[in-house]
Amino acid sequence: MLTIKVLGSGCANCKRVEQIARKVIEEMSVEAEVVKVTDYNDIMAYNILSTPGLVINEKVVSAGRIPTPAEVTTFVVNALEAA
């Protein structure tokens, strides 16, 4: 099972990243837990300079922008292959 974290304060962009991640894992039928990380100190632990951030299995795969669904699909496939 993958752990997908969306890093951000809950802004519109952060919510969009969460929606994209949830849609991709649903379409791929991948078992994953999506967690919202809103605590500033927790976000800073990932060394990202701007939100939204996307972390899959503790690896930062995107930061400071909204990745496309195709990009998120690639991130998920890569994480599954690495697991």
Dump pLDDT digits (tens) for 1-23: 999 999 999 999 999 999 999 99
| Domain assignment of residue 8, given as a range | 2-82
Single pTM value for the model: 0.95
pLDDT exceeds cutoff 90 at 24 = yes
Question: Per the structure block, which two tokens stand in for 60?
Answer: 């930062």
Count of structural domains, the chain: 1
Q: CATH code at 20?
A: 3.40.30.10
Q: Residues 32-83: pLDDT tens digits?
A: 999 999 999 999 999 999 999 999 999 999 999 999 999 999 999 999 999 8
- Nearest in space to 5 (alpha carbons), one of 42, 41, 30: 42
